[in-house]
Each structure stands twice: as structure tokens, then as C-alpha cells.
Amino acid sequence: MEEESKETLLKEIEALIAYGNEEPTIDPALLAYLDLPSLRAIRDRLHKKRSTLTEEDKVWLRNFRKED
């Protein structure tokens, strides 16, 4: 099995937090602060919560979006 990269995990997370809207862009600078296990944990939690995102979850996820 191919090892996941931070960039691959970031793209998966971006797709998961789109929750029906245009796909957001996460600031790639976050990759410097998050290790692979942390990114995997975020992705896995998002998979579980995706169908039941609350407004609080959406607000929390918006904090990771890159603003132009």
C-alpha cells in the first residue's frame, strides 16, 4: 500500500469539508504544523461526521480555509 502524503490527506480533507458548497482551499502552511497521524485523524473524523455536520462543526472547519 502506498504511503499517504500530507498533500494527499489535505486534498481529502478539503473535499470532505466542502459539505455541498464549492470546494474550499485550506492554507497549505498548516502542513508544517500537522503530522501525518494528525491529518489522518482529522480525515477519519470528517468521514464519520460528514453526514451529520452541525453548524458548530462548519464554523470550526471554516477556520482552516485559506482566505485570499
Mean pLDDT, 10 residues at a time, the chain of 68 residues: 77 76 69 87 83 74 65
CA 17-4-54 angle, to 5 degrees, is 20
- Residue 46 has a pLDDT of 82
Count of domains in the chain?
1
Range of the domain at 30: 6-62
Give a yes or no: residue 22 inside a domain: yes
Q: What is the pLDDT of residue 37?
A: 92
Q: What is the phi/psi pair of residue 26, to 5°? A: -90, 140
The distance from CA 1 to its chain's CA centroid, rounded to whole angstroms, is 22
Residue 1 lies in a domain: no
Residue 27 is assigned to a structural domain of this protein = yes
Determine how many CB atoms are found less than 10 A away from the CB of residue 4: 13
**pLDDT reported for residue 41:** 92
